[in-house]
Structure 1
Amino acid sequence: MTDPPVHRERGEGALRALYSLALYLLSPLTLYHLVARGFRVREYFRRWDERYAAYGTQPGRPCVWLHAVSVGEVNASAPLVNALLQQRPDIGWVVTTITPTGSERVRAIWGERVKHVYLPYDLPGSMDRFLLHFRPSLALIMETELWPNMLFGCRDLRIPVYIVNARLSARSLRGYRVLRPLIGRALRTVACVAAQSDDDARRYRVLGARPERVRVLGNLKYDMALPEGIDGFVAAFNAALGTPRPVWIAASTHEHEEADVIALHRRLRARWPDLLLLWAPRHPERFARVQALAAEAGWQVGTRTCGPWPRPDDDVFVIDTLGELMPFYACAQVAFVGGSLQPVGGHNLLEPAATGTAVVTGPHLHNFAEISRRMTAAGALRIGADMAAVGDHLLALLDDGAARQAMAAAGSALLERNRGTLRRTLELIGDDLPASVDAPASTAP
């Protein structure tokens, strides 16, 4: 018995052809992008074959494919992938990212238990080669990665697609308006959009998703687990400091926020001269620069790679490694989460809350609107309208241990109330997981 023909909406072919033609005409810019980024991050000079799906190896066995664009999405997917690796060790996995930092995070979490490659550009030839090479039996797309040829290619090969932990900000919805006729058709091919919130679900429907295939399951970030050995990590940190000192952390900061961090630390040290700043830039290419900025400000600076712990006379300690942010959150009394003083959209606010650290952030939070709303309502987050207001919150919290404890308790309670998205997601995708087979010990495709 043959499969029924694939259903294509009227106008899909013409729209897809125009979109693909535009991508082919613009494809030389992809090389420029890789070279330009490579001068800042050397890893962009490597593995170009994966960017165009030119594989020199033999195709692997069928697998589950998960796409997570970068570090934040990889971290958010960890509870789901870890649960499936434990429950179904017979399943092979391929995980794609777009950024080298995402690639490093995949390797740090799962090592050789999954196969990692970069997602190819959304050219139809590249995407078809990727899908035919890895032959995924199920595709799990994290959050907001809506590439038309990717989605149509999965539909054409009868690969069910789930957009899990799906979010779509009002800003992103506006950004898709030019491609909405094509994106809408592509969205209607997916098996389900598992949205984080009612607002995300509504926007996906506005963009074109089939209403009956959009469900609100919640946010996987609430199901995060604390890193193993975090108590020992904090104990070693405190032992290295010797005398107890007040500590704050500026995390996931972007280039245009760096001067603000310098100004904030100077202001805070006027009140607490022995205050230590833990500084974790968002992008690895900024590690050396923030170290230099702190030194130019006249402070004693240490780094994780040279340390590994702050020295008793350090004023600033740069966390120039990946994957260690949560343990360092636990070492601080107050956390400032960056990407929020500039219109970046914010970063994960639940990670510091999960470690019991009071959380302060700036006003630009469109990527975390629902989480920031819930945390603020619960009393687990303080938002400053600008740098001065952020500084006011940091000053107040460093001076008020009871307020910090209340925020920590509120954050812990909020996380506990909202757990369960992992279970619901596992139930949702269960019927489309590959059938159980006897498999060798290795699970990499």
Structure 2
Amino acid sequence: MYYFYVALFYLLIPFWAVFHYLRGLNKKDYHARWKEFFGFYTKKHTQQVIWLHAASVGEVEAANVLINYFRDNSSYKVLVTTSTEPGYQRLHALQGDRVEHVYLPLDIPDAVGRFVRHFQPRMAVIMETEIWPVLISKCAENSVPFFIVNARLSEKSTKGYLKFKFFLENVFSGVNAVIVQTELDARRYQEIGVSAEKITVTGNIKLDMAIPESTKIQAFDIKQKLFPERMVLVVGSTHQGEEEIFLNGYKSLKQRFPELLLVLVPRQPKRTDEIIKLCLVDKLNVVRRTEERPCTASTDVFLVDTIGELKQMYAVADCSFVAGSMVPIGGHNIFEPILLDVPVLFGPYMKNSEMLAQQLLDAKGAIQCFNDADIVDNVTLILSQTREKELLINAGRAFVKQNRGALERTVAVIENFMRERKPRHLRD
């Protein structure tokens, strides 16, 4: 099965090349670095690195606290790989030149082998739900400890992986530890072939995120310059099919709250033109973030067509909605608004963090909406009832406080393993 997987991957490379070319249009740096996907590098890098992989923007955000820990508590250089250019851009915004970055090589033996020999990582730390058979195999061959951290598995992914359990059991033999978010994730990883002794439940690292004071200062500056007198509803990380829902809801809310401004933050800023067309169809006035001009009393929608400003937008919100949850995407980080003391709502599709989302609902720290009417009713409740808003914020804050500590527990698992392991010798 392993050789079939490798052969299939090689056959798909021409299609990947076309996809890579199209995705990199107007991104010269992305195209210039195409060799990295095959394990070729134009400069010499630090060896014996602590290597973390975070596929894209969401994983980079989650990994940041772990990156900071290793950067501040280790004498080894930290290398971070991403799979996407937005992931790299977000990493650079958070870390600058304090860590090294290359793109993750394609999961083929030649590329991964060159990557491992070039960097000689002391360990591999992979965020959330990345299972690359060749990568795991090559790390095992070269005695590179391999950890999957903040790991999660949705019900749908589990069903898909179960079809290949006979193959995955062998793949997971090369993984040293799977550090999962919840007991439900632990059971699912066992189902697809990870032995129970390799699994540790630590909670969600996202709850250990710290919001820098600079973010709040930037947020205050944005509001003062662009919409100082407005009540603000922020909808973060929207996907196709969701904007229509919130634009319709906004028109109803505007009748009750004339000063309300809808701030839309699409998950992919490249969809900006598409969203503007939807606003124009609804006869709503739009200001784009990149225009750098203030909203007027007649502005209905402030469209954030940039990457890396979601936290700042949440920080200025009177109410927030975490999108990717009104369509079957699985939801995004519901804890960012809570960490900024902003009431949070989300939709019915929360497979990416279903257990934590339910626990937060049970603690009355968030509100779940199932349709347009729910959104209008609950936003109205929060904007009109100060007491209800405060109760929601306080419950969310208490939930986060009670469930922190995943970073410390994750690091403990990794460091305990590294202390006990025998010295390794990298293969040629």
Answer whether TM exceeds 0.5 for this pair: yes
- Tell me the equivalent position of 2:37: 51
- Residue number among 294, 300, 303 corresponding to 2:288 in the alignment: 303
Equivalent of 2:20 in 29, 34, 52: 34
Identify unmatched segments of 5+ residues in structure 1: 1-14, 436-445
2-structure distance, mates of 1:22, 1:241? 51
Report the 3-state secondary structure (helix = DSSP H, G, I; strand = E; otherwise coil) of the residue aligned with 1:113.
coil
Distance 1:174 1:44 in 2: 34
Letter in 2 for 1:355: L
Partner SS state of residue 226, structure 1: coil
**Aligned-CA RMSD value:** 2.1
Secondary structure of 2:42's aligned partner: coil
Q: Distance in 1 between matches of 2:226 and 2:13?
A: 52
Out of 60, 71, 75, the residue aligned to residue 57 of structure 2 is 71
Distance (Å, rounded) in 2 between the aligned partners of 1:238 and 1:119: 38
Q: Which residue of 2 aligns with 1:314?
A: 299
Candidates 330, 336, 356, aligned match of 1:351 = 336
Q: 1:79, 1:316 → 2: CA distance?
A: 33
Q: 1:81 to 1:434 in 2, by over 3 A?
A: farther
Matched residue SS, 2:150:
strand
Q: Select 2:268's aligned residue among 283, 286, 290.
A: 283
Q: Indicate the SS of the match to 2:236.
A: strand
Residue 122 of structure 2 aligns to a residue in which SS?
strand
- Per-residue deviation, residues 27-58 of structure 1 (Å, max 9, x unmatched): 22211222343459777644221222222323
For 2:93 and 2:217, the matched residues in 1 are separated by: 19
Q: Specify which of 184, 195, 201 is matched with residue 216 of structure 1.
A: 201
The offset of 1:203, in angstroms, is 0.7
Tell me if the contact between 1:349 and 1:371 (Cα under 8 Å) persists in the aligned partners.
no
Alpha-carbon shift at residue 59 of structure 1 (Å): 4.9
1:22 — aligned with what?
8
Percent identity of equivalent pairs:
35
Moved more, 396-405 or 352-361: 396-405
What's the CA shift for 1:240?
Answer: 3.2
Partner of 1:169: 154
Extract unaligned runs of 5+ from structure 2. 421-428
Please tell me whether residue 122 in structure 1 is matched to residue 113 in structure 2: no
2:128 matched to 1:178?
A: no
Distance 1:31 1:237, change over 3 A: closer
Deviates more, 1:423-432 or 1:158-167: 423-432
**CA deviation profile, 1:186-224 (whole Å, cap 9, x unmatched):** 112211111100000111111111211101111101101
Inter-partner Cα distance in structure 2 for 1:113 and 1:411: 33
Q: In the alignment, does 2:188 pair up with 1:203?
A: yes
Equivalent position amino acid for 1:304 in 2:
R
Distance 1:104 1:308 in 2: 24
Whole-angstrom distance in 1 between the partners of 2:155 and 2:26: 31
Q: What SS is found at the alignment partner of 2:290?
A: coil
Any idea what SS the aligned residue of 1:176 has?
Answer: helix
Structure 2 equivalent of residue 106 of structure 1 = 91
Q: Post-superposition shift, 1:235?
A: 3.3
Aligned-pair distance for 1:20? 0.6
1:413-428 pair list within 5 angstroms: 413-428=398-413
- Contact kept, 8 Å, 2:227 with 2:294, in 1: the verdict is no
1:86 pairs with 2:72: yes
Residue type of the alignment partner of 1:276: L
The partner residue of 2:47 within 42, 50, 61 is 61
1:308–1:213 CA distance, 2 compared to 1 (3 A): farther
Cα distance in structure 2, aligned partners of 1:133 and 1:60: 9
Give, in whole Å, the separation in 1 of the partners of 2:50 and 2:88: 17
The change in CA–CA distance for 1:249 and 1:36 in structure 2 (over 3 A counts) is same
1:300/1:46 CA distance change after superposition, 3 Å: farther
Mean CA deviation greater in 78-87 or 232-241? 232-241
Write the deviation string for residues 346-395 of structure 1: whole angstroms up to 9, x where unpaired.
10000011111111111111011022111101111111122332232222
Are 1:193 and 2:193 counterparts? Answer: no
SS in 2 for 1:320: coil
Aligned to 2:123: 138
Deviation at 1:333, TM superposition (A): 1.1
**Residues 249 and 211 of structure 1, relative CA distance in 2, 3 Å threshold:** same
Amino acid at match of 1:16: Y
Contact 1:240 1:312 in 2 (8 A): no
Matches within 5 A, 1:395-406: 395-406=380-391
- Tell me by how many angstroms 1:109 deviates: 0.8
Task: Confirm or deny that 1:263 pairs with 2:248.
Answer: yes
Aligned partner of residue 117 in structure 1, secondary structure? strand
Query: Structure 1 residue 294: deviation in Å?
Result: 2.6
Counterparts of 1:242 and 1:31 in 2: how far apart (Å)?
A: 43
Could you say which residue in structure 2 is the equivalent of 1:439? Answer: none
Structure 1 range deviating more: 176-185 or 146-155: 176-185
- 1:80 to 1:56, Cα distance in 2 relative to 1, 3 A: same
Q: Quick one: which of 312, 323, 333 aligns to 1:327?
A: 312
Q: Is the 8 A contact 1:69 1:96 kept in 2?
A: yes
For residues 387-444 of structure 1, the C-alpha deviation after alignment (integer angstroms, 9 at most, x for no partner) is: 3322322222222221111111111111111111111112221245699xxxxxxxxx
1:389 matches 2:389: no
